[in-house]
Amino acid sequence: VNKILDAGYLAIPLELAPIGQIDISKQMPKMYWIQGQKKLAAIELLNKNRNLFGIDITYFACGPDTQISQQMVCRAQKPFLTIEMDEHTGDAGIDTRLQAFFNTVKSYLEIETKQTSKVFSVKLKGLDKIKGKKILVFPPMSEHNYAISSVLNAYGIQSRVLEVSPDETLEKARSCTCGLVCTPYLHTTDAMLYFMQKSEFDPEKFAFFQATTECGPCRLGQYASLESLLFQKKGIDV
DSSP line for 163-218: PPPS-TT-HHHHTTS-TTS-HHHHHHHHHHHHHHTSTT--TTTEEE-----SS-SS
- Give me the pLDDT at residue 229, please: 83
Residue 192 domain boundaries: 127-233
Q: Which of 76, 111, 146 is the last residue of a domain?
A: 111
Question: In this structure, are residues 25 and 121 in contact, taking their beta carbons and an 8 Å threshold?
Answer: no
CA distances 122 to 102, 125, 172, 193, Å, are 33, 9, 22, 18
Indicate whether 116 pLDDT > 60.
no
Cβ atoms within 10 A of the Cβ of 56, count? 19
Q: Which of 111, 135, 169 is the last residue of a domain?
A: 111
- Give the chain's domain count: 2
Indicate whether 124 pLDDT > 50.
no
pTM of the model: 0.55
Report DSSP state, residue 7: T
Q: Residues 96, 145: one domain?
A: no
pLDDT digits (tens, 9 = 90+) for 163-206: 988 888 888 888 877 767 888 888 888 898 899 889 998 888 88
Q: Residues 93, 133: one domain?
A: no
* pLDDT band for position 120 (cuts 50, 70, 90): very low
Residue 121 falls within a domain, yes or no? no
Mean pLDDT of the chain: 83
Residue 122 falls within a domain, yes or no? no
Q: Residues 15, 105: one domain?
A: yes
Indicate whether 123 pLDDT > 80.
no
pLDDT digits (tens, 9 = 90+) for 22-69: 988 888 888 999 889 999 999 999 999 989 999 998 888 788 888 888
- CA-based nearest residue to 65, from 83, 80, 47, 53: 83
Nearest-5° angle of CA 211, CA 228, CA 163? Answer: 60
Q: Which of 111, 135, 161 is the last residue of a domain?
A: 111
Q: Residues 12, 89: one domain?
A: yes
